[in-house]
Amino acid sequence: MYKQRLFAPGPTPVPEETLLELARPMFHHRTGEYRKMLETLTGNMQYILQTHQEVYTITGSGSAAMEAAVANLVAKGETMIAVRGGKFGERWSELGHAFGANVVDLDVEWGDAITADQIANALQANPGTVAVFIQHCETSTGTACDVQAIAKAVAQTDACLVVDGITGVGALPFAMDEWGVDVTVVGSQKALMLPAGLAFIACSDKAWAKMDATTPPAYYVDLKAYRKSLAKWDNPWTPANSLVRAALASTNQIRAEGLETVWAETRRRAEATRAAARVLGLELLSSSPSDSVTALHVPEGVDGAALPKTMAEAFGTRIAGGQAHLKGKIIRFSHMGYLDAFDVLAAVAALEMALGRLGATVDYGAGVAAAQKVLAKE
């Protein structure tokens, strides 16, 4: 028997205090008790996003907030730029098409990061673009881009910058207001240490000016309804109130620890994993690796589909494989949330053992030792 350990980029492990909140009796949501919870959670999310803007809590997975961003910001026939460097970038593009936008796909090689120059050029080539949609971290490839530089470039135009921060916020340094990001979306089951089911979105004054001028082709994710309700610390529809209570526990923990510490520890776990990969001969997929998710090429001669399967079934260690054309070619490890140094060592040890089972020549302990060297530093 093995303990089940989660290292896939969502869902991530949930802290005990949060699990206990989820076990408590159901309560009613149109109450002062709930309103107080939503007020505190909103404040915690403002801290985590580093924004003074309101943060709206939507019931749904992260994609619900992505849909809200597209539906509220881009009217039918208007031009939007979707950066496609992986599975989640494709989702921006698909959402744009679903709402009848004129979608300009800005394709980058999977594993490469989009640059501010590329965005500036695309904006120049497509005058009238109302919004640019990016991922802070493209989870399918473990690639992070320079959001701050991109925001600076977009700010020089009338377009809004929308950042999918679902594997960025709470894991990688991020400051919505200071950087000038117009819309940030987050989901609960990654760096926020929660089950899936809550999505968050915040909008700048520039984004609100655009959204206030139109009526979105949406009902459930009409952000004006959320704004109106939040004035009374309420949600427009029945909220997942038990998840909101759980979210308080996890976000209180992030606040208590401090964002800078959370970012630094996430980074250290990524560095330890990358150090282990180096000595084990597993190459990074990304030319701009994210500290929230590491994507590694499966070594030559090893069955790429069998590797994550063996780690999960033989050793209780759940990582993720590749998606689309990277299926069977890469493996991915999350470094987000409720993980510690010993979890990282367990993941590396399980990787070594699974590689051994699948016939690779493994110098047992070499990856673990490389990770320990990083994790032991003060």
Ligand X SMILES: *Cc1c(COP(=O)(O)O)cnc(C)c1O
Residues in touch with ligand X (CB under 6 A): 9-10, 61-63, 88, 135, 139, 164, 166-167, 187, 190, 196
Burial class (CB in 10 A: 0-12, 13-18, 19+), 300: exposed
Q: Which is nearer to ligand X, 92 or 226 (CB)?
A: 92
Q: What's the closest the beta carbon of residue 275 comes to ligand X, in angstroms?
A: 24
User: CB–CB of 210/186 below 8 Å?
Assistant: no
Omega before 13 within 30 of 0, i.e. cis: no
Q: What's the closest the beta carbon of residue 91 comes to ligand X, in angstroms?
A: 7
How many angstroms from the chain centroid is the CA of residue 218?
24
CA distances from 304 to 11, 326, 361 (A): 22, 10, 15
Q: What's the closest the beta carbon of residue 98 comes to ligand X, in angstroms?
A: 14
Q: Which is nearer to ligand X, 139 or 310 (CB)?
A: 139
Q: Cα(61)–Cα(95) distance, rounded to whole angstroms?
A: 15
Q: What's the closest the beta carbon of residue 166 comes to ligand X, in angstroms?
A: 4
**Token duo for residue 184:** 């940030």
Q: Which is nearer to ligand X, 164 or 352 (CB)?
A: 164
Q: What's the closest the beta carbon of residue 103 comes to ligand X, in angstroms?
A: 17
Q: Which is nearer to ligand X, 92 or 208 (CB)?
A: 92
Q: Cα(161)–Cα(57) distance, rounded to whole angstroms?
A: 20
User: CB–CB of 296/270 below 8 Å?
Assistant: no
Residues in the chain: 378
**Token duo for residue 53:** 């803007």
Helix (H) or strand (E) holding 134: strand 129-135
**Token duo for residue 336:** 């987000």
Q: Which is nearer to ligand X, 61 or 79 (CB)?
A: 61
Q: Which is nearer to ligand X, 67 or 182 (CB)?
A: 67
Q: Which is nearer to ligand X, 69 or 370 (CB)?
A: 69
Q: What's the closest the beta carbon of residue 372 comes to ligand X, in angstroms?
A: 29
Q: Which is nearer to ligand X, 162 or 370 (CB)?
A: 162
Closest by CA position to 142, among listed 177, 180, 171: 171
Amino acid symbol at 257: E
Q: What's the closest the beta carbon of residue 349 comes to ligand X, in angstroms?
A: 26
Q: What's the closest the beta carbon of residue 163 comes to ligand X, in angstroms?
A: 10
Closest by CA position to 82, among listed 24, 40, 122: 122
Q: Cα(378)–Cα(368) distance, rounded to whole angstroms?
A: 18
Pairing of β 293-297 and β 198-203: unpaired
Q: Which is nearer to ligand X, 186 or 358 (CB)?
A: 186
Q: What's the closest the beta carbon of residue 246 comes to ligand X, in angstroms?
A: 16
Amino acid symbol at 70: V
